[in-house]
Structure 1
């Protein structure tokens, strides 16, 4: 099944367009906020506080977003979050001097908070607007869109701010959220979603179940548990890699801001290609899910040996090709092995754990880089991704071979 075939579906096209618009706006906002902070404060401390505030809301609002996605109309949750984010984005236009920096902190926290409420609903909505056999292709397409957003946002976000200033970037971000809300409002979600669980009482029980029950169901379902562990170990090395992107560009290769844009652009291109290949290899997505993160980690490891920034960009691109394929495959597995009544909380737990670990890893990485050579740190970070993935990937494959294919809620109910 091709991307073009899926893009003929109006609902999926509206969902992806909404994600694309708000994603581009987010990149413009990120560049504009960091530039504005350095301009009005002249210190990197404000930048550090802002980056930290992009992690904290996930811990508080991520689990709440999962509950909202499972208990309320997911489309309405997303539209409401977009509208609120649009007005929050406009608040950055009020910042003009150092005494206004609190508004930057408040606005940043609020944007991430409502994104944490938005994302579980978005991930949970996808299986409702495509057929079960289209899930793998839809997730692959979603990864490619993510890569396009990253590539475009990283390459032109800085240019946009440099030419037209931060205020226009903030206005663009606000308008992108309002436009996204319009596209989402036109979504028509089927009244009877594609749900592998036919027992109505079981579905209702899942809707009112607690996080504790969902966690117990995850840990008692081998394939879902293995996926969670695999997606949880990646951020330990991945957060350090995120810090290294700027360090490689500035310190190792003296390439400055254009070097950061080059590396982020390469990562975005990698996700685009990864999504395309995931669609091509959807018949083998179990194998891809089992091996991709180890390959991604190995690619990250190779960056520590790069002689030039261009080779580094190539290794980043190759590693994220594997990562993009893996993300699409693992998300498909979660959607297939978890009943839709649990989707919001399962994806919320996934995002919350990942974002908190990435934040801690970034803090640790920043501290280590004050004492250690960046190439050594990059090598160790690559190992931290590769070695655990080599151990957990085969668990997923063995579980599939053993025939563990029942939806999570069915297995938990049977116990």
Structure 2
């Protein structure tokens, strides 16, 4: 539930092409399911920490609600990727949604401080199950829409969903918590998973029969072989190491700036929590604008050009934003963060999918999710520590420089590719 600047049949051309992919029935079901479950998650973004604070009065206990969302990404990532590739993805998503509804419902049992541990268990369980859901969903999308222009549209639409949820989810959760209480928020989150499961049940796509695999050897041995196959693909496929290095550098800088956001709002802008909410709303507006833009630029520019220009633009906007002392200008600049951020993230998702065989997509998506979690953790800890010692301005400038370095990394290490066209997939034969 942590907040961050970054975000997880179409025709070429204008922004409306983003929505053309919704004509694919099965993808439409997945997109609506993702919207519902994501909205449920963000309702808890404000409600869960406030509820824990009200029960315990402890800042530490409240902070642990955020930590509970981060740890599973680092611990369970490899397992999630392997399982997403071994299991039927539609059935996996269905089972996970049902399980998440039950897990979230555990929070309904909490009524006094001694039961707060149940909230941590529920949040860790929800995050851990989400780690299985995410790679399965990402790996299913190319099977539903292909790897051509529709894949870019699908990823752009995912960014649009993310922007919408960011814009309304947190504030709505806070308002709903104030009006109806924590029980109502939890019930709605659980209900969103149930609704998502119903939609996934209606998906008609069925995977082709998998190539028979030798089930001899130990479970650990087969798991190790699966991990090795994914790591070999990431290491040997041209472009993937460069994209991972570019993304890691960007995410460290982005997370450092995220860690500075509250102190920047309070000490530089001299604003309160209400103004911070406005900044997040401005960021959400930028995400909404960036979704159709990402589809348009992908149809005209190479992946390297989109990544390099997006990151260079972000670096400049970040540098100006965190040296701005006026709330009105800050709101404008926060809107400008969204479009290049979405363009970069959508391009990375599409790039990875187009260069990964279906049998490995879960492992690659999971590896990228682990990279995001690790880089975000390093960036937030580093940004918070350096901000305390060197000050907000210097730390923000260094973080913006880190984003500029990521732009240079993309420019120097990636080869230009044909815009909005699928790359030849490397062959993959499961190790038996």
Question: What TM-score, normalized by structure 1, do the two folds share?
Answer: 0.90
Distance 1:408 1:312, change over 3 A: farther
Separation in 1 of the partners of 2:254 and 2:426? 28
Deviation at residue 398 of structure 1 after TM alignment: 4.5
Distance 1:341 1:385, change over 3 A: same
Q: Which residue, out of 64, 77, 80, partners 1:65?
A: 80
Residue by residue over 1:52-71, the C-alpha shift from the partner in whole angstroms, topping out at 9 and shown as x without a partner, is 22111011222111111111
> Quick check: 1:243 aligned with 2:286?
no
2:198 alignment partner in structure 1: 182
Q: Which residue, out of 238, 258, 279, partners 1:263?
A: 279
> Quick check: 1:323 aligned with 2:341?
yes
Residue ranges of structure 1 left out of the alignment (5+ in a row)? 194-198
More helix by share: 1
Residue by residue over 1:342-378, the C-alpha shift from the partner in whole angstroms, topping out at 9 and shown as x without a partner, is 1000010000121122123222322333333223222
2:7 alignment partner in structure 1: none
Bigger shift: residues 45-54 or 73-82: 45-54
Q: Is the 8 A contact 2:357 2:425 kept in 1?
A: yes
Separation in 2 of the partners of 1:167 and 1:250? 31
SS of equivalent to 1:54: helix
Q: What is the root-mean-square deviation of aligned Cα atoms in Å?
A: 2.6
Residue ranges of structure 2 left out of the alignment (5+ in a row)? 1-10, 12-16, 216-221
1:22 alignment partner in structure 2: 37
Distance 1:112 1:326, change over 3 A: same
> Quick check: 1:376 aligned with 2:394?
yes
Q: Is the 8 A contact 1:223 1:404 kept in 2?
A: no
Residue by residue over 1:31-84, the C-alpha shift from the partner in whole angstroms, topping out at 9 and shown as x without a partner, is 111101111121211122222221110112221111111111001111111111
Aligned length: 403
> Quick check: 1:141 aligned with 2:157?
yes
Q: Is the 8 A contact 2:249 2:405 kept in 1?
A: no
Deviation at residue 119 of structure 1 after TM alignment: 0.5
Pairing 1:22-101 to 2, within 5 Å after superposition: 22-101=37-116
Deviation at residue 216 of structure 1 after TM alignment: 2.3
Q: Is the 8 A contact 2:152 2:346 kept in 1?
A: yes
1:196 alignment partner in structure 2: none
Separation in 2 of the partners of 1:66 and 1:389? 28
Q: Is the 8 A contact 1:223 1:399 kept in 2?
A: no
> Quick check: 1:122 aligned with 2:140?
no
